[in-house]
Structure 1
Amino acid sequence: MRTGTTLRAAAVGAAMITLAACSGGGEDGSGTAPADAALTVVTGVYPLEWLATEVGGDRAAVVQLTEPGVEPHDLELTGRQVGQVSEADIALSVSGLQPAVDEAVEQEAADAALDVADIVELRPADPEEAAHEDEEGEDHAHEDEHAHEEEAEDEHAHEEESGGDGHDHGEFDPHFWLDVDLMSQTATALAERMAEIDPDGAAAYEENAEAVTAELTAIGQEYEDGLASCAHDEVVVGHTAFTYLTDAYGLEQIGVSGVDPDTEPSPSQIAAISDTVEERGITTVFTEPLMPDATADTIAAESGAQVEVLDPLEGVTEDSPGDDYPSIMRGNLAALTTALECS
């Protein structure tokens, strides 16, 4: 990861490059850049690019920092991309997902930052650990209530001095976009920020956000209807990127590894999941477009299940069950209703 000094040097070196010139595909970023755009938005993950494009319409130039087919968690920025972040009117991100983007925004675009973690309530990356911490907090609440109050006052004072918000978003699951209600909230907040920057386009941004919300509401209703009556509720996945989706519709996510897709499952983890799949009569093990199929293939071979694709929407590839956010969400629904034997 680059240091803050390196980031600043890279941004200075890219200062003469305009966002319009940088918005083509390839290693330097991709997206749309109308010549007469009223504002520019830079994003690092596909769902946010889609949202910014829909809400911004023809008034916004949207730059995507992650190339198609690249795992967004692993993104490293070039100097030119750091320059794009530095020059953006809005740096739309979800902190904790892409450390390179987080660092670039913090160092070069703090005033332009729009962090989804400040808009919606993100889920903890490890729900069991969070629940354990909550239980411990309740057990000791009466013993150290006064001490906590003093700590809170000290922490609040420190935050005011440092300008921080007191949250470590790295502890949270960033895959909020699989919850259409949270996407709607983000669309509204993005339209409001765009209107602040470009007041002449306020009505257009509001109208676009309303259209996005209507589309998301329709998708949510399709999920409600499609998953209302199913023979199974277990969703076996490579890494637990689907918590927002499974929790929203009463499904059980069974993950081979955690939220981080780079975490390699151990043989014992694979064996345990294989046993669970076989014992419960689960017919499908899901893999992802941007992840190797080896683990899912091993579980399927040992349990007799089949392998299908469930897309966490971190990017669009030729293996995605659609070519944009709405069609991929609907493709995921079709895969789920088949795997779970829904009627």
Structure 2
Amino acid sequence: MLHKNSFLCAALATAFLGAAALPAQAAVVASIKPLGFIAAAIADGVTTTEILLPDGASAHDYALRPSDVKRLQSADLVVWVGPEMEAFMQKSVGQLAEPKKVQLAALPGVKPLLMKGADDDAHDHEGHDHSAENGDDGHHHGEYNMHIWLSPKIARLSAVAIHDKLVELMPQNSAKLNANLRTFELGLANIDKQVGSELAPLKGKGYFVFHDAYGYFEKQYGLKSLGHFTVNPEIQPGAQRLHDIRTQLVEQKAVCVFAEPQFRPAVINAVARGTNVRSGTLDPLGIEVKLAKDSYMQFLSGLANQYASCLKGD
């Protein structure tokens, strides 16, 4: 009896140690939701896709939790824009093997498509405002605008890069991964045409966005941003910038001002008060979109509808 109990204890201990040694469930881990949309389309039916940042969190000021670090370490593949956008990930991603990560902004095909960035909001405190001159401004962290997921062209290149990495890691699934990439490219081409048709009549209408994030989308579809309230959404815009925006609203150069779901500053309502300018909301992270194989198409379509409903006055 004693021998049997000893054997049972040893077996349980071995099973327990074995389970403890197993890594956490591997998956494709994307830094932010829109990158997860692209990854989910390619990984569909092969492996799961997870998003690192919770809904409502901002890549501008996020700090990794210990559980986040574990998810990155155990991932099949980590997808991110790069240190200029997700500075909080740089150390953890730097420790991963090359085949297990893809930095989208550094892809050879993406680099020539990067748009120049705007001046930091620090300039605004000195009384300079470039917002009206630079409709296609960039991210506050560096030389380039890093909101690259808002470009359908870069989204396609990102999908190809994620596909290629997963084929390397999981060659047994190459047929499914190839089919997923073809489906994504076809769907992207279709939604690009639809969005282009929807936004074409609105090309001459001026507007202000809250956060300087939309240059790639605006360039693709010929939209006319007059500028932004802030480069970094964590920093309130300065008095000079607000004065200049207010002047343009009063002169009716803009028909709409856009806030964002994560940032609904009272400053936008205050500046627009007493004018005929409409208010809308743009969601650059697709908070309302559920992760699925066609979610990137839903994201682009939803963003187009957000622009159109305010600019048309629906």
- The 1:212–1:307 alpha-carbon spacing in structure 2 relative to 1, beyond 3 Å, is same
Q: TM-score, normalised by structure 2?
A: 0.76
SS at match of 1:286: strand
From 195, 204, 212, give the equivalent of 1:240.
212
- The 1:289–1:109 alpha-carbon spacing in structure 2 relative to 1, beyond 3 Å, is farther
- The 1:216–1:171 alpha-carbon spacing in structure 2 relative to 1, beyond 3 Å, is same
Within-5 A mapping of 1:90-169: 90-95=77-82, 96-119=84-107, 120-121=110-111, 122-126=114-118
User: Structure 1 stretch 102-111 or stretch 185-194: which is displaced more?
Assistant: 102-111
SS at match of 1:193: helix
Amino acid across the alignment from 1:94: V
The answer to whether the Cα contact below 8 Å between 1:231 and 1:341 also exists between their aligned partners in 2 is no
1:16 to partner: Cα distance: 5.3
Structure with more relative contact order (C-alpha pairs < 8 Å, separation 6 or more):
2
1:73 to partner: Cα distance: 2.4
Amino acid across the alignment from 1:18: P
From 124, 144, 161, give the equivalent of 1:172.
144
1:55 to partner: Cα distance: 0.5
From 163, 169, 194, give the equivalent of 1:191.
163
Structure 2: gaps (5+ residues): 1-19, 121-140
> Which residue of structure 2 lines up, in the alignment, with residue 27 of structure 1?
none
User: Where do 4+ consecutive residues of structure 1 move more than 6 Å?
Assistant: none
SS at match of 2:49: strand
In 1, the alpha carbon distance for the partners of 2:253 and 2:227 equals 16
Structure 1: gaps (5+ residues): 1-14, 21-38, 129-168
From 269, 280, 287, give the equivalent of 1:316.
287
1:211 to partner: Cα distance: 1.1
In 1, the alpha carbon distance for the partners of 2:21 and 2:53 equals 22
Q: What are the Cα deviations for residues 27-83 of structure 1, in whole angstroms up to 9, with x where unaligned? A: xxxxxxxxxxxx621111001111111100121132211112222322211112112
Aligned length: 266
> Which residue of structure 2 lines up, in the alignment, with residue 331 of structure 1?
302
- The 1:317–1:296 alpha-carbon spacing in structure 2 relative to 1, beyond 3 Å, is farther
- Higher Cα radius of gyration: 2
> Which residue of structure 1 lines up, in the alignment, with residue 272 of structure 2?
300
Q: TM-score, normalised by structure 1?
A: 0.70
1:331 to partner: Cα distance: 2.4
User: In the alignment, is residue 50 of structure 1 matched against residue 37 of structure 2?
Assistant: yes
The answer to whether the Cα contact below 8 Å between 1:240 and 1:253 also exists between their aligned partners in 2 is no
Q: What are the Cα deviations for residues 94-138 of structure 1, in whole angstroms up to 9, with x where unaligned? A: 01211111221013455522000122132222289xxxxxxxxxx
In 1, the alpha carbon distance for the partners of 2:266 and 2:98 equals 41
The answer to whether the Cα contact below 8 Å between 2:31 and 2:51 also exists between their aligned partners in 1 is yes
- The 1:249–1:293 alpha-carbon spacing in structure 2 relative to 1, beyond 3 Å, is same
Amino acid across the alignment from 2:296: Y
The answer to whether the Cα contact below 8 Å between 1:76 and 1:100 also exists between their aligned partners in 2 is yes
